[in-house]
Structure 1
């Protein structure tokens, strides 16, 4: 008596295998081909106690990882720059990692001058400000900073500057490459100033006292892959995994961690779209 499965009995198993293969192919197409380029334009309202100014519109964009042949091509970056300009922010903050990989042109990375040319088209009445990220330092931090400054972008490495009467921007250096000095960055900010704190790696929060104002960071990419019910699988650097994306809090200090625009290591995203964020800052409600 034969125990071989009949053709009719094997048919459901073949259908299941084909369905599984189709699901894998669709997931790969989405994660590599669609979501990494599907940029979200987030609108976030922030109500700060003690805010004494009219509402302020601040655009935040980080983790560009600009190169050729990858996710963040020059054309894609120009389209994002156009979208940010069209939103008419008062101020733009760039949260580092402009360079793709280690900046090697043989692997498709753009030269700092080409990156700065693309981002130098950003416009805001109160200026465009930046910090460097770890990938910028892997390549040549001073060269990246010089190229950005040549295009009118203010690079703040553990520095602060007044951008308007009573409004300051403080830029904190990258944590994972040993450049983070929050106390130095905040030393010049006068008491009572309205403050925006820009950092690349949210781990810098671990080394700073709480200050009033809005703080923003990048670096994590939101994990690039965020599984439902689990969240980000990997968060680079010293920040806890719970700091992968969105609002975070440490020792009374709140910050927004953006998912960034580009990708790193693998050109994929799943359940964590790239984004730039337009904050509208106003006084506390009530």
Structure 2
């Protein structure tokens, strides 16, 4: 093989690899921009509380976090996430903050989307997120008046005998006070703890509780080999999503529904978490229907292509 032939082969390989790289980048962009933000995972979990009354064994909690109603998160994503939660017929809905993007009027626009969640027999309970403090907490009043969402702001409520739900003010823009939030909740009661930022777990470590949080978006864009973006106030925290055990408390971090800063999600789909509470002291367990939904979508896409070709 002469030198000229080697050069031609080298140039061909270069352009082949360049084409593959460009194609991969274009595919990743399309996925992050148009596909993954709409591809909601319904994650299923079993969490255990030794104090849970037997009559509440098997109680289902649907968690939605970081809806971020506004120009970045598609309304269709919000509508689909709520529909998926309603489909599960939860006993309780837990909303863990960041309802809006950055304007108070967005709460008024969001309220009609949240109304279907009222099917939950124990209601819709929420904590504040760092984006929800516009105009002195007007977001909470709007959503309470127009969508029936009850906010727990350093306070607790018993949704049933023996089961308390505790809500903490946001650790960034609020005035969190865990002792005040847990006041009136005896150690003998089972406890569900709502804190927008996972760092709120530091105030609940000595309590036997299941804590639900969000804030991180799971990193939102997770590129292999690169450290994901850390949400405000999260530097040094040991996890971005999923379950962790902190002394006596079990913490779950949701990837959330919406997006902030940029309309992209990559290797980090939006999430609706369905948590079944069981009496016991085992570690939390997770299953997911993401693979099943992906298979269904692939099947539908194949049928559409076949019909188009024929």
TM-score using structure 1 length: 0.88
Take 1:5 and 1:41, find their aligned partners in 2: how far apart are those partners?
A: 53
Take 2:268 and 2:135, find their aligned partners in 1: how far apart are those partners?
A: 29
- Cα 1:239–1:160 shift into 2, 3 Å: farther
Find out whether 1:111 has 2:106 as its counterpart.
Answer: yes
Take 2:86 and 2:30, find their aligned partners in 1: how far apart are those partners?
A: 31
Shift of 1:285: 6.8
Query: Aligned match of 1:250 in 239, 246, 249?
Result: 246
Residue 214 of structure 2 corresponds to 218
Find out whether 1:164 has 2:160 as its counterpart.
Answer: yes
Residue 71 of structure 1 corresponds to 73
Residue 124 of structure 1 corresponds to 120
Q: Which runs of 5+ in 2 are unaligned?
A: 283-310
Shift of 1:167: 1.5
Residue 297 of structure 2 corresponds to none
Take 1:207 and 1:192, find their aligned partners in 2: how far apart are those partners?
A: 18
Shift of 1:103: 1.8
Take 1:39 and 1:195, find their aligned partners in 2: how far apart are those partners?
A: 28
- Cα 1:63–1:5 shift into 2, 3 Å: same
Secondary structure at the aligned position of 2:25 is classed as helix
- Cα 1:167–1:4 shift into 2, 3 Å: same
Take 2:50 and 2:195, find their aligned partners in 1: how far apart are those partners?
A: 22
Residue 62 of structure 2 corresponds to 59
Secondary structure at the aligned position of 2:165 is classed as strand
Take 1:253 and 1:84, find their aligned partners in 2: how far apart are those partners?
A: 25
Take 1:147 and 1:280, find their aligned partners in 2: how far apart are those partners?
A: 30
Shift of 1:205: 1.5
CA contact (8 A) 1:176 1:238 kept: no
Q: Structure 1 or 2: larger helix share?
A: 2
Larger mean Cα displacement after TM superposition, 18-27 or 43-52: 43-52
Take 1:244 and 1:283, find their aligned partners in 2: how far apart are those partners?
A: 27
Take 1:173 and 1:231, find their aligned partners in 2: how far apart are those partners?
A: 28
Could you report, residue by residue, the CA deviation over 1:192-238 in whole angstroms, capped at 9, with x for unpaired residues?
A: 11211011001111234421121110001111123447663434313
Calculate the aligned-residue CA RMSD, in Å. 2.3
Q: Which runs of 5+ in 1 are unaligned?
A: 105-109
Secondary structure at the aligned position of 1:160 is classed as strand
Residue 11 of structure 1 corresponds to 12
Residue 28 of structure 1 corresponds to 29
Secondary structure at the aligned position of 2:193 is classed as strand
Could you report, residue by residue, the CA deviation over 1:129-160 in whole angstroms, capped at 9, with x for unpaired residues?
A: 011111112x3352110111112111111110
Take 2:209 and 2:224, find their aligned partners in 1: how far apart are those partners?
A: 32
Number of residue pairs the alignment of both structures matches: 276
Could you report, residue by residue, the CA deviation over 1:1-43 in whole angstroms, capped at 9, with x for unpaired residues?
A: x999844431111111111111111111111111121100111
